[in-house]
Amino acid sequence: MDRIYEQTMLYDFYGELLTEHQRSIYEDAVYNDMSLGEIAEERGISRQGVHDIIRRCDRILQGYEDKLHLVERFARAKETVSEIRRLADPASAETPELERLSRIGSLARVLMDEL
């Protein structure tokens, strides 16, 4: 996963578990694409302080993912839904209908098990 995409996904799932201060600095860095210097100047703290907070947030968010695996499960569910949609599209019928329906049923069970 590309770094920015990974950071935004982790933040989307676990960002509310950060403190307000951590969230606002992390959002400025990741979502608002502000430099460390810009954030430091706006907050009245050092660039090193901003850097440390961002790194700490990355570790915290990754720690939640290591324990809960919500982003991983979301990615798998998204892939499963994409496969179901591909199989359900009659225009892309490369396999017989009964086989496609069986595969859709199987994927739906996998998806339900993930939830």
Does the domain at 3-68 match CATH 3.20.20.80? Answer given as: no
| Burial of residue 103 (number of CB atoms within 10 Å: 0-12, 13-18, 19+) | middle
Which segment of 47-56, 61-70, 87-96 scores lowest on mean pLDDT?
87-96
**Domain spans in the chain, listed from the N-terminal domain onward:** 3-68, 72-114
Instruction: Locate 84 and state its tokens.
Output: 């179901």
Q: What is the mean pLDDT of the chain?
A: 91
Is the model's pLDDT at 51 over the cut of 80? yes
